[in-house]
Homo-oligomer: A and B are copies of this chain.
Amino acid sequence: MDKKIRLVDVAEAVGVSAVTVSRVLRKPELVSEAVRLRVTEAVARLGYVPDPAARALASARTDVLGILIPSVTNNVFSAVLRGIYDRVEGLPLNIQLGNTRYSVLEEERLLGVFTRQRPAGLIVTGVDQSARSKALLRQAACPVVQIMEIGDDPIDMMVGLSHRDAGRAATRHLRDRGYRRIGFLGARMDPRTQRRLEGYAEVMKDDGIFEERLIVTTRRASTVTLGCELLSELLSRAPDVDAVFCNNDDLAVGVLFECQRRRISVPEDFGICGFNDLEMMAVAHPSLTSVRTNRTEMGRRAIEMLIARVAGEPIDTPVVDLGFEIVARRSSLGPSRREAPFST
């Protein structure tokens, strides 16, 4: 067993002082080329890796990026994570993931732990942090990005979209396609889902076709199975419902399967619109309409904003609206149209 190699060990091997080795690692331009090469060689030969704890303690900084998301299982967040990991690749940054489990208290606790680590940056989900969380974030000596949603009053920076607008757009889409008794299926009912519900309700009310019985929600997490169940519930409450706006795509797929089982024709007898536009929506049979959100891009942008801020660059737009797009597919073609303009 070789003992742990320390900075001084490298310094000794090269015949320079520890500070010089430290500089080679952090600010190589301050060291002469001759020394730099010898040090670099020794570092490689001895397999020296700096101790992050010592480094953090001495410099009062870390290369840790703290990311707080409500769920590691949810497809939506894995897409964001992919964007984050993609963008961070090659940079001297380490991702530390915190799972808040949709709990404001857990978020507060994790934020306490995270901010103590003097992270290089923090990413948190949504805009509904507790007052204490927000205070912690404002005090944090690092840039902060709120992702997934946008709103007034950013803590620092934001990148996301307006879920209320997206809810409105999806509902209008179904209405414009000729559906009238449009249901709303919601799982988890986190703040973003609730805002989509608000958007839905606004449009329905504006059109004078709003009905409480068309809304079925649950606190349970979104799954395909839940989509089946919620549709069954909706159909028993409102047998005349002719379309449904699902939050999220899992539910939409479940709804499709349940329709297949019940021999309800989609889109002729029943329209379906999902949310997030997961990859599978395009290849379902019939293909499923959804609201595309740029989740991977969201993660990427969040990192870019953090990097820019760390580098001291001025941020021209601290609140970035990534928007959304209704991806109209067969499942919302409109009622009783038997001919099929779409091939899928």
Contacts and interface: CB of A to CB of B under 8 A. Distances in A.
Interface of A: 1, 49-54, 56-57, 62, 72-75, 78-79, 81-82, 85, 94-97, 99, 101, 112-113, 116-118, 139, 223-225, 227-228, 250, 253-254, 257-258, 260-261, 279-280, 282-285, 344
Nearest to A257: B285
Given A257-B285, A260-B285, A85 B72 contact: yes
Contacts of A116: 49-52
Contact of A113 (B49, B81, B113, B224): B49
A342 to B, nearest CB: 12
Contacts of A285: 257, 260-261
Nearest to A114: B94
A255 to B, nearest CB: 10
Given A73-B79, A257-B284, A85 B99 contact: yes
Contacts of A117: 52-53
A283 B85 contact: no
A227 to B, nearest CB: 8
B81 A261 contact: no
A54 B59 CA distance: 12
B225 A282 contact: yes
B257 A224 contact: no
A1 to B, nearest CB: 7
Contacts of A50: 116
A52 B50 CA distance: 16
A144 to B, nearest CB: 16
A112 B52 CA distance: 12
A257 B228 CA distance: 17
